[in-house]
Structure 1
Amino acid sequence: MIDRLRNFADSTPFTNALKVTVASVVPVLTLSYFDRFDVGFTIALGAFLTYPSDIPSNLRHKIKGVLVAALIVAGSNLLVNVLHPYPWALYPVVTAAIFFLSMIGIYGHRANMVSFSGLLALALAFGHLQQGWDILIHAGLMFVGGLFYLLVSLCFQFLSPHRYTELQLAECIKLTAKYLKLRGDLWHVEANRAKIIEKQLHLQVELNAIHENIREILIRNRPDSGSSNQHRKMLLVFISLVDVMELALSTSFDHSKLHQKFSAHPKVLTTYQQIAYNLGATLKQLQKSIANHQKYVSKHQLFKDLELLERVIAEYNDNTHDAEGVWMLTNMLYYVEKQVEKISVIERAFLQAVSSQDFKGRDRELEKFLAPQYYPWRTFRENLTFSSMHFRHALRLTITILIGFAIGALLPLQNVYWILLTVIVIMRPGYGLTKERSWQRIFGTVLGGLIAFALLSFIHNPVAIGVFTVIALILGFTYTATNYKIGATFVTIYVVFVYGLLTPDIEHVIQFRIVDTLAGAGLAFVANYFFWPSWEFLNVRVHLKKSIEANRDYLIQISKFYNEKGQVTTDYRLARKNAFVEIGNLMASFQRMSQEPRSKQRALPQLYKLVVLNHTLLSSSASLGTYIQSHKTTSASEAFNVVVAGVIRNLNRATALLDGQTETESPANEEVALRFTELKNLREKELKQAHLYGAQALELKMQEAQLVIEQLIWLTNLSENIVGTSARISKI
């Protein structure tokens, strides 16, 4: 329990909640001492509304983002208060402002959070209207609150500059360990492999997101962090984790075939499975040492595990003299050796200083792996069309908020802006997430209202209520990021406690809070279904096409490297990263589609089949790429290039079908079949000429021939299946 509490207090959500709590509570307490509670509350409100824009990133971008958010928050409040006496101007201008703020989310996560801050400020402005000079004073104090929040946030960052990155790395290590454990689970004889692969795909989505986040922090912050040992250590660990994931994804086995092959010798597979588990367990131990600020002490001896597997393979060879079986086991041993090597690099990074030589040139041109940070007006203009999901969401949100205004004008509701806040907080571009958040918000509001009412029935001391208010605020912001239902519960408790301090009529506050939340959640849910909905079946084909194209580009780079040899280029690594990202985006799109009404889940089985086929194609390509990177390979034959060209042609056919193009005829595959025969004949010739090579040279040559031929056959079969499934989907 103590460890859990310590981890909770050290977590990023708790730290963020603490920042906004300090920035909100300090002005209220300080100015209340001078009988200026209203001023303190306004400054706290500015800090509270600016907080969402504070996302981890480069320090310069962080400061700019928070400052822009503070200006938009103050400007939104000023706009509503200045125009409120003139309804004929207020509502058209506010409508345009809502639409504009909703649209700037096209520029990425930071812009989306700044947009969120501005929309909240617009809604809250209708609940705290000012007159005369108070309009400027109120807006100015809110801007001061934004600046104060920025100051608090910078203080937290300077007190612990690396902690956020460490925790992100710890989470990345934890997810990678889970992925490796799932690979171990695949070796059970009766394993549900389809279910395990689905779990791996879900993990891939999470890993892609956290990889992008860590890149943003580590690479953009390189000029700020200099070449400190701590920064080098974290960068080396991250690069090694990406390598571990690539190696895991690139090495796939036919488990059923292997169980059948070694049914009389199960010891070799159980020994390998235990090593697979130990790889994940070692990473899990590393994650715990980072999260708990403990010195890393390895509990697993991976090199001894390797020696044991080598002995088991030697025993199998002595007992069976099965050359094919030994080659299979040798490939498995090679995979484990490479993983142990990568994990050992991570272990050493935690035990000793890291120098630039440890990167072996891998830290060059890292900036190319980041998304560009610029905001051209052209992007905004190009999205002003119904084909843009962002445009439809902005229009939907704007109309829903206007309907909220109308409901507030027609019905005797106490705080109409609560309806608007609920709509802004709940409504998302996708139907599934909006539906989920609606129910979570309703549940949290009702439960939080009941708990707050029960507590206020027994607690009447203002100091005690104030303490509970601060606690509820911290817990509300902490859990909002991880468990929205619990977060909404504590936020409701916080709101009710604040009103409990300001007004004795708490029963009506709770009643109207629940009614307004129900109205806002209902509006958001209905609007997402009827107002130009962004059903995922409209977008999933785009993600399918991008994933297939990314796989194609990655395979082109692999073929180029196999032909030209030399050093791995930045273009190769970028193509690999893009292929990994796009398969994650595809799976995320499929997840969103599975949360939508059944009537909107068009061709769901075929789409899932394409997700799995693309994932498997990526795994097979990465397997080929990893092998030729780490081995001295022979010259690529013409047959190899012809077969790869056939696979690329198939992938191009699939993207054309998904674009709605029709095929007039299917290209002949006779040449590809002949090239496969040529490759196999070459392999047989090498077997017959075994006496011309040394034993080790022959073994390496045969490993290359076996892996390349098997992967080419597999890539061809997969690409043909992708074409066939794409053709069926294009007809639906």
Structure 2
Amino acid sequence: MIQKVRNFTDSTNFSNALKVTLAAVIPALFFSFQGNFLIGFNIAIGAFLAYPSDIPSNLKHKINGLLVASLLVAGCNLIVNLLHLFPLVFYPVVSLLIFFFSMISVYGQRATQVSFSALLSICLSFGHIQEDFSMMLQYSGLMLVGGLFYLLISLIFAYIRPHRYVELQIASCLKLTAKYMKLRGDLWNVNSEREKIVEKQLILQVELNTIHENLREVLIKNRTNTSGTSDQTRKMTLVFISLLEILELALATSFDHTKLQQKFEKHPKLLKTYQNLAYNLASSLKAIFKSIENHQKYVPKHSLLKDLESLENAINNYQEELGKVEASEGVWMLSNMLHYAEKQIEKIKIIERAFMPNFNSNEFKLRDRSLDKLMTSQYYPWSTLRENLSFSSTIFRHSLRLTATIILAFIIGSIFAFDKVYWILLTIVVIMRPGYGLTKERSFHRIIGTVAGGLIAFALLLFVTDPVIKATLAITSMILGFTFTSINYKVGATFVTIYVVFVYGIMTPNINDVIQYRILDTLVGAGLAFLANYFFWPSWEFMTQPIYIKKSIEANRDYLNEISIYYNAKGETTPSYRLARKNAFIEIGNLMASFQRMTQEPKSKQKQVQQVYKLAVLNHTLLSSLASLGTYVQTHKTSKASEAFNVVVQTVVKNLNYAITFANLEVSEQMATAENNEDLAMRFTELKNMRAKELKEAHLSDEDEFQLKMQEAQLVIEQLVWLTNLSESIVKASKQLSQTK
């Protein structure tokens, strides 16, 4: 229990909650003692509203984001108050402001959070309209001070613990990668449900993609002349790169488990020995994660080299038992498994060494020079906003929906004389998301949390009368509320409600009315958000699925082109190769995330759900095969790429292009099919020529060279055949998807 509490208080979520609580409580308490509670309260609101924009990033982007958010929060409040003096333009201009700030989400996560701060400020302004111009300026100025004060607190935290966020993200990455590796071990069970295991792996890949992007943002973009050369930064970058390579190698190496189990049915010890090694690979990563989480010195619990030696001995025993000739095929299969394990152990050993006391970060000076080229440059052109001003854009639909819902809520609040209409508006902004599934989930969680929090707060207030105790409970609830909001929204909403009720309990005696209004307003806001997502220009996932499918196929196609270029030219891997590989992993994750969102929508809206999942799995398998081919040509001395190789690659690329056109409905089915059949005949001929050519080039006098060429020919040809078959399957699946639209 003590360790769990320690882990909780050491988490990033708790740290963020502590920052915003300090930024709000310090000015509130300070000015309360001076007899000016309202001044401190207004500063606290500014800190609250700036807080959402404090997302993980390098220091420069953090400062810029919080400065912009603080200015917008204060500016929006001032504009709403000024517009209130001119009723004729008030609603049209406020509507445009809400729509505009919703639309800037097209510029990414940071812009989304800044827009969220601005929208909260607009909604909150409805409840604090000032009639006097000097009061407007004062109130907005205090909110600006609150935002700047939060920025100061955030910078102090960053200075005190500059590396803790990265360490926790690395720990999460280790944990998820260990789970992924554990699932690979589960695939060796005879009766394993492989389809479910693959689905779990795809879901894990979505989570890993998010963490990888966070780490790229902080580690790579934050490498300045000072922090970029620090031991800790180099160490974390080394671990991050190694974890990326572990996942990529795992994806690049797939085994035919059914075939292998049939092959070694009479020798179960072989596969059991390998499975034990596979599990220990995962356990080693998990042990490193535990050491980071618990602030303990890392001590290896598994001897991976001994496990590797056990596998080698098992292979030798198998060869001696059957004889060299009869065991040759089995030994070749097992050798591939052994080679994969050796590579993974090598990378895990690098991570283990990084957490040893005598780690020398100078060994890592040259490995991260081109990492910054993998980052997507951040700029905000107006063209991006213009391109999204159409109903084909999910953000555009969401912006219209949010604007209409807020105006509708304001009208309903005015007609039925709600005491605090802005609570309804705030609920809508907090709950409503572009997707139906997440909005539905947050609506129910918000309602449950608000009702539970209101009841708990009411029960506590029956016994608690001391203002100091009320303030203490309010601060505690505030910390817990902000901590749990991103972990468990239901629990977070419960504590936030308790905090709000206690604050009002300090400020006003009629607390029963506050609880009733809070629950009623939340019910109305959540209900409107839920209904709006269903009826107001809904963005069902089946509407955007073709985009994700197209992008994933395009990313795989571009990755294949880069592999082909590298195979023909040799040399060092180029930044474009690594960028194409990164994009392929990200787009497959995005496609799977879209599929997950679709499964949360009403059954009537889950159109072609099985077909979409089939395409997600096919594209994931294609990526695995591409990574396998790319890894092989990088790590082995290969002969010059034959003409047949290039012809087959072109055939696969054409197949993928056909799949894209089917997804876009850009060409007729007859045209695509006719061209495709012509290339398929060429493919089989070229593959046969390639095999014959490779065999003729082999020098029988040199056994080692012969084996290497045979291995290369076998692996490359098998991968090309597999790639071609997969690309054909993707074409068929895309065709079926387009025919059922």
TM-score by length of 1: 0.98
Q: How does 1:181-580 map to 2 (within 5 A)?
A: 181-223=182-224, 225-321=227-323, 322-351=327-356, 352-358=358-364, 361-580=366-585
The amino acid across from 1:708 in the alignment is: V
The amino acid across from 2:558 in the alignment is: D
Size of the alignment, in residue pairs?
A: 728
The amino acid across from 2:508 in the alignment is: T
Q: Post-superposition shift, 1:642?
A: 1.6
* 2:162 is the alignment partner of 1:161: yes
User: Which has the higher mean CA deviation after the structures are superposed, 282-291 or 396-405?
Assistant: 282-291
SS in 1 for 2:355: helix
Taking the aligned partners of 1:310 and 1:559, their CA distance within structure 2 comes to: 34
| 1:403-423 superposed Cα distances (whole Å, 9 cap, x missing partner) | 010011101311100100010
The amino acid across from 1:353 in the alignment is: F
Q: Post-superposition shift, 1:700?
A: 2.6
Residue pair 1:229, 1:353 contacting (<8 A) in 2 also? no
Taking the aligned partners of 1:670 and 1:84, their CA distance within structure 2 comes to: 73
SS in 2 for 1:128: coil
SS in 2 for 1:226: helix
Residue pair 2:699, 2:705 contacting (<8 A) in 1 also? no
Taking the aligned partners of 2:64 and 2:727, their CA distance within structure 1 comes to: 46
Who is 1:726 aligned against?
734
User: Which has the higher mean CA deviation after the structures are superposed, 469-478 or 282-291?
Assistant: 282-291
Ranges of 4+ aligned residues in structure 1 off by more than 6 Å: none
Taking the aligned partners of 1:388 and 1:450, their CA distance within structure 2 comes to: 41
Residue pair 2:173, 2:208 contacting (<8 A) in 1 also? yes
Who is 1:107 aligned against?
107
* 2:692 is the alignment partner of 1:681: yes
Taking the aligned partners of 1:605 and 1:101, their CA distance within structure 2 comes to: 36
Quick one: structure 1 residues 395 and 246, their matched pair in 2 at CA, closer, same or farther if it must change by over 3 Å? same
Who is 1:76 aligned against?
76
Residue pair 1:53, 1:65 contacting (<8 A) in 2 also? yes
| 1:311-349 superposed Cα distances (whole Å, 9 cap, x missing partner) | 111111111231111000000000000000111111111
Q: Post-superposition shift, 1:690?
A: 7.1
The amino acid across from 1:455 in the alignment is: L
Taking the aligned partners of 2:393 and 2:563, their CA distance within structure 1 comes to: 34
- Residue of structure 2 aligned with 1:713, choices 711, 717, 721: 721
User: Which has the higher mean CA deviation after the structures are superposed, 670-679 or 545-554?
Assistant: 670-679
Taking the aligned partners of 2:93 and 2:641, their CA distance within structure 1 comes to: 65
* 2:40 is the alignment partner of 1:35: no
| 1:379-437 superposed Cα distances (whole Å, 9 cap, x missing partner) | 11222122211111111100100001001110131110010001000000111111111
Residue pair 2:618, 2:726 contacting (<8 A) in 1 also? yes
Q: How does 1:695-710 map to 2 (within 5 A)?
A: 696-710=704-718
The amino acid across from 1:534 in the alignment is: S
Q: Post-superposition shift, 1:89?
A: 2.1
Residue pair 1:250, 1:626 contacting (<8 A) in 2 also? yes
- Residue of structure 2 aligned with 1:631, choices 632, 636, 642: 636
Who is 2:681 aligned against?
670
SS in 2 for 1:362: coil
SS in 1 for 2:494: helix
Taking the aligned partners of 2:607 and 2:560, their CA distance within structure 1 comes to: 30
Taking the aligned partners of 1:698 and 1:654, their CA distance within structure 2 comes to: 39
Over the aligned positions, Cα root-mean-square deviation in angstroms equals: 1.3
The amino acid across from 1:20 in the alignment is: V
Q: Post-superposition shift, 1:639?
A: 1.8
Taking the aligned partners of 2:92 and 2:417, their CA distance within structure 1 comes to: 24
Taking the aligned partners of 1:465 and 1:320, their CA distance within structure 2 comes to: 79
User: Which has the higher mean CA deviation after the structures are superposed, 326-335 or 526-535?
Assistant: 526-535
Q: Post-superposition shift, 1:685?
A: 5.4
User: Which has the higher mean CA deviation after the structures are superposed, 317-326 or 666-675?
Assistant: 666-675
Q: Post-superposition shift, 1:165?
A: 0.7
Residue pair 1:683, 1:705 contacting (<8 A) in 2 also? yes
User: Which has the higher mean CA deviation after the structures are superposed, 201-210 or 349-358?
Assistant: 349-358
Taking the aligned partners of 1:363 and 1:446, their CA distance within structure 2 comes to: 51
Q: List runs of 5+ in structure 1 lacking aligned partners.
A: none
Residue pair 1:232, 1:354 contacting (<8 A) in 2 also? no
Taking the aligned partners of 1:395 and 1:573, their CA distance within structure 2 comes to: 39
Residue pair 2:206, 2:593 contacting (<8 A) in 1 also? yes
| 1:150-179 superposed Cα distances (whole Å, 9 cap, x missing partner) | 001000010000111111111111111110
Who is 1:25 aligned against?
25
Q: Post-superposition shift, 1:225?
A: 1.0
Taking the aligned partners of 1:92 and 1:649, their CA distance within structure 2 comes to: 51
Residue pair 2:374, 2:575 contacting (<8 A) in 1 also? no
SS in 2 for 1:460: coil
Q: Post-superposition shift, 1:357?
A: 4.2
| 1:240-263 superposed Cα distances (whole Å, 9 cap, x missing partner) | 110001000000011011000000
Taking the aligned partners of 2:692 and 2:649, their CA distance within structure 1 comes to: 18
Q: List runs of 5+ in structure 2 lacking aligned partners.
A: none
Q: Post-superposition shift, 1:682?
A: 4.6
Taking the aligned partners of 2:93 and 2:203, their CA distance within structure 1 comes to: 43
Taking the aligned partners of 1:152 and 1:698, their CA distance within structure 2 comes to: 66
SS in 2 for 1:161: coil
The amino acid across from 1:196 in the alignment is: I
The amino acid across from 2:543 in the alignment is: L
Who is 1:122 aligned against?
122
Taking the aligned partners of 1:32 and 1:401, their CA distance within structure 2 comes to: 34
| 1:279-316 superposed Cα distances (whole Å, 9 cap, x missing partner) | 11111111111122211111111111111111111111
The amino acid across from 1:56 in the alignment is: P
* 2:693 is the alignment partner of 1:692: no
Taking the aligned partners of 1:306 and 1:569, their CA distance within structure 2 comes to: 33
The amino acid across from 2:683 in the alignment is: V
Q: Post-superposition shift, 1:356?
A: 4.9
| 1:259-285 superposed Cα distances (whole Å, 9 cap, x missing partner) | 000000011101111111111111111
Who is 1:47 aligned against?
47
Q: Post-superposition shift, 1:675?
A: 1.9
| 1:593-613 superposed Cα distances (whole Å, 9 cap, x missing partner) | 111111111111111111000
Residue pair 1:392, 1:533 contacting (<8 A) in 2 also? yes
Q: Post-superposition shift, 1:705?
A: 2.0
* 2:128 is the alignment partner of 1:138: no
Taking the aligned partners of 1:122 and 1:683, their CA distance within structure 2 comes to: 70
Taking the aligned partners of 2:159 and 2:68, their CA distance within structure 1 comes to: 21
Residue pair 1:651, 1:722 contacting (<8 A) in 2 also? yes
| 1:120-175 superposed Cα distances (whole Å, 9 cap, x missing partner) | 11111111222322111111111101111000100001000011111111111111
Residue pair 1:396, 1:527 contacting (<8 A) in 2 also? yes
